[in-house]
């Protein structure tokens, strides 16, 4: 119930932002404030419905991720199968993202429709034990039903960020009032803030802990996170929208863009420290 209410609240907040943009755009172009708001309300309704059912496909498409068979990715499949047996979870689909950026994410509206995606970069960077820690983290998101909120929020927030850029362009073309431009400029960070509230740092901490306990090797995940932090610094993702950063186990975007003012992930040092403490508390050596 709490998860459903959180999802509905997120939809409502992002929809109101979207409608607000329509209200201002309607007045800017045709002096039709209400008509602009109604148009964007209809657009937001359609977007919410489409995002609910197709958010996983949208995210996979945006990163050119390819669903692969067990024959095509036996290493990833074998690790995910082990995790699913330990966590009593259904086997998700597996996807590979063609980028050197080392990362991973989960998407899908429920456990039966879940997709776990890994990048080509992470497959070359991590050992099997470290990769198992990362995939256990993603399966913890699946178990906790985080994927729908992350995926839909990323889709809608991406649209809001695009609309904000339209406003900036409109300012140059129509000599709009500076107040309107200010609204446009702050729209993107507001969307990012909503994402941060929807997918709080505590949920990342929770996925770290549950994933580590699932495989009984907190230090494997800690080592993986340290490598991923350095790998993402060296090779940030080549394409994508910063609004989707909450989907990834490590933020793949570095610098540039006002969205990055709002941290969507806990500090890496704190995540690693908590995993080390968990290893001490449980006595798990891996």
Catalytic residues: 138
Query: Given a cut of 60, is residue 171 above it in pLDDT?
Result: no
Sequence ranges of the domains in the chain: 2-53+153-198, 63-146+200-282
Give pLDDT tens digits for 96-144: 999 999 999 999 888 889 999 999 999 999 999 999 999 999 999 999 8
Helix (H) or strand (E) holding 231: helix 218-234
Predicted pLDDT of residue 121 = 97
Angstrom CA distances, 252 to 75, 87, 95, 236, stand at: 23, 27, 17, 5
* Mean pLDDT within 85-105: 96
Share of the chain above pLDDT 90, in %: 45
Task: Considering only CA atoms, give the Rg of the chain.
Answer: 20
With cut-offs at 50, 70 and 90, classify the pLDDT of residue 257. Answer: very low
Give pLDDT tens digits for 27-61: 665 566 676 667 777 776 777 677 778 878 988 99
Query: Given a cut of 60, is residue 188 above it in pLDDT?
Result: no
CATH for 63-146+200-282, options being 3.10.450.40, 3.40.50.300, 3.30.2010.10, 3.90.1150.10: 3.30.2010.10
| Cβ–Cβ under 8 Å, residues 125 and 231 | yes
Predicted pLDDT of residue 269 = 94
Angstrom CA distances, 101 to 93, 247, 279, stand at: 21, 14, 28
User: Cα–Cα distance between 222 and 97 in angstroms, integer?
Assistant: 23
* Nearest by Cα to 245 from 180, 185, 198: 198
Give pLDDT tens digits for 203-246: 899 999 999 999 999 999 999 999 999 999 999 987 777 767 88
């Amino acid at each position: 119930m709490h998860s459903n209410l959180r999802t509905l609240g997120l939809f409502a907040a992002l929809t109101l932002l979207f409608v607000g943009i329509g209200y201002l755009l309607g007045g800017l172009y045709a002096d039709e404030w209400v008509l602009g708001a109604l148009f964007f309300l209809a657009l937001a309704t359609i977007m919410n419905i489409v995002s609910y059912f197709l958010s996983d496909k949208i995210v996979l498409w945006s990163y050119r991720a390819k669903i692969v068979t067990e024959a095509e990715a036996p290493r990833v499949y074998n690790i995910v199968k082990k995790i699913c047996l330990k966590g009593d979870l259904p086997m998700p689909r597996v996807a590979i993202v063609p980028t050197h950026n080392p990362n991973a994410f989960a998407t899908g509206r429920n456990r039966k429709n879940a997709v776990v995606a890994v990048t080509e970069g992470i497959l070359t960077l991590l050992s099997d034990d470290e990769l198992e820690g990362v995939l256990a983290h993603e399966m913890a998101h699946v178990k906790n039903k985080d994927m729908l909120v992350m995926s839909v929020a990323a889709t809608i927030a991406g649209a809001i960020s695009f609309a904000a850029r339209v406003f900036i362009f409109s300012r140059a073309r129509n000599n709009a009032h500076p107040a309107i431009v200010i609204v446009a400029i702050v729209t993107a960070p507001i969307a990012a803030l909503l994402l941060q509230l929807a997918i709080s740092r505590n949920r990342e901490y929770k996925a770290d802990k549950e994933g580590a306990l699932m495989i009984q090797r907190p230090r494997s995940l800690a080592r993986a996170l340290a490598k991923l932090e350095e790998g993402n610094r060296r090779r940030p993702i080549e394409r994508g929208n910063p609004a989707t950063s909450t989907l990834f186990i490590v933020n793949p975007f570095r610098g540039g863009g006002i969205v990055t003012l709002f941290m969507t992930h806990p500090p890496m040092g704190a995540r690693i420290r908590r995993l080390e403490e968990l290893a001490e508390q449980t006595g798990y050596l891996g």
